[in-house]
Amino acid sequence: MYILNIFLVAVLSYLIGSIPTAYIFGKVLKGIDIRQHGSGNVGATNAFRVLGKKVGVTVLVLDILKGVIPVAVISGFFTPDVNVRIVAALAAVAGHNWTCFLQFKGGKGIATTLGVLIGLTIALPVIRLAVALCVLSWLLCFIITAYISVSSMLAAILLPVLMVVVGAPFSMIFLSILFCLFVIFRHRPNMQRLLKGQEPKVPLPFHKPRQ
């Protein structure tokens, strides 16, 4: 029964994570395939650029919920086991990154990763400080650089370090390492653009535009 619960949680979490929200909004609202516009990514950042701020915020919230619901609701329905929640977290992020609805090509997983971390803080209070500091590091880096990609990679690298510092369980440290690898792997095109000076910044009001 325990193995069956793990299997069901993993499948349901993957399917929820796989819902391509930015793609759906692009098709429904503008009749476009968002993969053919902007960065071509199926995530909240590209939704902001292509579909506008309101839709971008909506996609961001929904992508976060794609992580929260599998970890906090779906896995909790089957079993309170923390390790099953970790399986749900991994499956949800994998679903967003490699969605079965778009030929296994999805987003970069930042919003959904944040969602699963929020969900995990419910069952693992010990990681709350690490998650909070990780979010804060993302925010500070973004304010300083105006690069979402750089902020996301920095937060991803800091995540496993912070998990070790707060004394998180080994399973959580291992999961955070996987998330870090996911983020770095999915941001390879961004790193190439950064090296070429072609990575777009978010136009923050206190940043001077490029000459």
- Between the alpha carbon of residue 186 and those of residues 28, 52, 149, 173, the distances in Å are 26, 23, 10, 20
Taking the complete model, does pTM exceed 0.85, yes or no?
Answer: yes
Distance, in Å, from the CA atom of 133 to the CA atom of 65, rounded to the nearest integer, reads: 20
pLDDT tens, per residue, the chain with 211 residues: 788 989 999 999 999 999 999 999 999 999 999 999 988 889 999 999 899 999 999 999 999 999 999 999 999 888 888 999 999 999 999 999 999 999 999 999 999 999 999 999 988 999 999 999 999 999 999 999 999 999 999 999 999 999 999 999 999 999 999 999 999 999 999 999 999 998 988 877 766 655 4
